[in-house]
Amino acid sequence: MTRKQKRLSVIAGGLAFLGAATGLTFYALGQKASYFYMPADLTTASLQPGQRIRLGGLVEKGTLQRGQGTTVAFSVTDKQKDVKVTYTGILPDLFREGQGVITEGSFGPDGVFVADSVLAKHDENYMPKEVADSLKAKGVWEESKSD
């Protein structure tokens, strides 16, 4: 094999490796390109029973109920539809009604979303980007403008 043939075979092998890595990445992502579901998106989503998802939106005002111990119940809304959520654990300090939230978990047999993780907004000017973008697209949420 000449030097030119060796160089071409190394380049071809590198391109084949990159192509295979790219193909595997896209295959792994599949239908999971959506980072989370908004409540209105769940009507068209084809979820398997017990499938873990992320649910994002705003904590609906007036729905926060504290149960026994660290169990809480609340609703996540996108102003079009709302989903009842239960969570057992310590909520983030910044969790409150009317704020952006992303919960992780799955739907129980009764249709209530059972969360095992709750992510709340960072500070008063922050909402998770995915939640803010989705709410803006639906015309529900606007960024505050400073004068």
Amino acid at 54: R
DSSP state of 78: -
Query: How many distinct helices (H) and strands (E) make up the chain?
Result: 2, 6
Flag whether 87 is marked binding. no
126 annotated as ligand-binding: yes
Please give the structure tokens belonging to residue 39.
């409540």
**CB-based contacts of 83: which residues, under 8 Å, 6+ apart?**
39, 42, 55, 57, 75, 76, 77, 113
Annotated binding-site residue numbers for heme: 122, 126
Annotated binding-site residue numbers: 122, 126
